[in-house]
């Protein structure tokens, strides 16, 4: 591996790391040499994932906390800093979705989605940034979505939250850049995960997507993970405030 893409001796905190894109990102960060700290809400699941990485010869540990709990975020990030001496990179990946027609979209569901996808990203980034500022270096990678700029029906909260993530990314880039910290986001297109399983199983939607996407297929989780490694590594050192769309060209024609 090129030295620029190496994460050797780097501590990388990945939220929502027990499954889906978060797990793929954790695997890629570990393969790049990073010490991956896996976050999620269920300690047992995280420990099993960490053991899988350690079984491959990688460095991994866990930091269970709920990104929607401000106090738990502060304690969890502080614990990572104390245990490992700091945080070199954060991937704020934790996210959920809820589908409902706007006229039936309950405010409680709106708040749950926005609190997890946007406010949760902010609170974790705020806590990690404080530790990074002390060292004068850091990488923050947010998880956005093409739904933030090209939404489909019934996901108003998700689209709004992901649009907010893009704006938050630029705001943090401007504020933290002078302190040696970059902030970027990845906006995945349609990737096969448990969150999109119902769409992947829909023959009509699958036909529409593969016909509409210039590369003619769904994305793979490891392709999003590779982009995260790039943005967290020295290879991406001069990229700041950017939303990297990884969608096979789906939105290029919009």
pLDDT bucket at 254, cuts 50 / 70 / 90:
confident
Q: What is the pLDDT of residues 79-135, one digit of tens each?
A: 999 999 999 999 999 999 999 999 999 999 999 999 999 999 999 999 999 999 999
Indicate the pLDDT class of residue 78, thresholds 50, 70 and 90.
very high
Give the model's pLDDT for residue 194. 86
Looking up residue 218, the CATH number of its domain turns out to be: 3.40.50.720
What's the residue count for the chain? 254
Domain for residue 250, yes or no?
no
Per-residue pLDDT of 174-217, as tens digits, reads 999 999 999 999 999 999 998 898 899 999 999 999 999 999 99
pLDDT given at position 1 = 44
Q: Is the pLDDT of residue 3 over 80?
A: no
| Percent residues over pLDDT 90 in the chain | 96
Would you say residue 249 lies in a domain? no
CA dist 38 to 34, 68, 77, Å? Answer: 12, 16, 11
Q: Please state, for a pLDDT cut of 70, what percent of the chain lies above it.
A: 99
**pLDDT for res 169:** 98
pLDDT at 6 over 90: yes
The answer to whether position 51 is within a domain reads: yes
Q: Which residues contact 202 (CB under 8 A, 6 or more apart)?
A: none
Residue 2: the pLDDT is 52
Q: How many domains does the chain have?
A: 1
Could you read off the pLDDT of 14-30 as tens digits, one per residue? 999 999 999 999 999 99
Residue 251 lies in a domain: no
| Cβ(206)–Cβ(200) below 8 Å | yes
Q: Give the pLDDT confidence of 213-246 residue by residue, as tens digits.
A: 999 999 999 999 999 999 999 999 999 999 999 9
Per-residue pLDDT at 143 exceeds 60: yes
Query: What is the pLDDT at residue 195?
Result: 85
| 253 lies in some domain | no
Is there a catalytic annotation at residue 190? Answer: no
The residue range of the domain holding 133 is 3-244
The residue behind tokens 């994305």 is 219
Catalytic residue among 23, 158, 190, 230: 158
Indicate whether 186 belongs to any domain: yes
Beta strands of the chain (E only): which ranges?
11-14, 35-38, 59-62, 89-92, 138-143, 181-188, 243-246
Structural domain includes residue 210: yes
Q: How confident is the model at residue 253 (pLDDT cuts 50, 70, 90)?
A: confident
> Tokens 């993970």 — which residue?
225
The answer to the question of residue 252 being in a domain is: no
């Amino acid at each position: 591996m090129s030295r620029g893409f190496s994460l050797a001796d780097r501590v990388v905190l990945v939220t929502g790391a027990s499954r889906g894109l978060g797990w793929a990102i954790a695997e890629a960060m570990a393969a790049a040499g990073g010490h991956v700290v896996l976050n999620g809400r269920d300690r047992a699941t995280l420990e099993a994932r960490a053991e899988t990485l350690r079984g491959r010869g990688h460095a991994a540990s866990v930091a269970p906390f709920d990104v929607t709990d401000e106090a738990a975020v502060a304690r969890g990030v502080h614990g990572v800093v104390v245990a490992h001496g700091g945080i070199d990179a954060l991937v704020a990946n934790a996210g959920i979705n809820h589908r409902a027609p706007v006229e039936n979209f309950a405010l409680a569901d709106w708040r749950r989605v926005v609190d997890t996808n946007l406010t949760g990203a902010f609170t974790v980034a705020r806590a990690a940034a404080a530790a990074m500022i002390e060292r004068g270096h850091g990488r923050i990678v947010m998880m956005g979505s093409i739904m933030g700029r090209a939404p489909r029906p019934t996901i108003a909260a998700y689209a709004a939250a992901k649009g907010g993530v893009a704006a938050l990314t630029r705001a943090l880039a401007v504020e933290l850049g002078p302190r040696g910290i970059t902030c970027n986001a990845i906006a995945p297109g349609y990737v096969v995960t448990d969150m999109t399983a119902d769409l992947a199983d829909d023959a009509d939607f699958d036909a529409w997507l593969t016909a509409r996407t210039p590369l003619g297929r769904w994305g793979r989780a490891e392709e999003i993970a590779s982009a995260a490694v790039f943005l967290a590594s020295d290879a991406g050192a001069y990229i700041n405030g950017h939303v990297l769309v990884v969608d096979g060209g789906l939105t290029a024609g919009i």
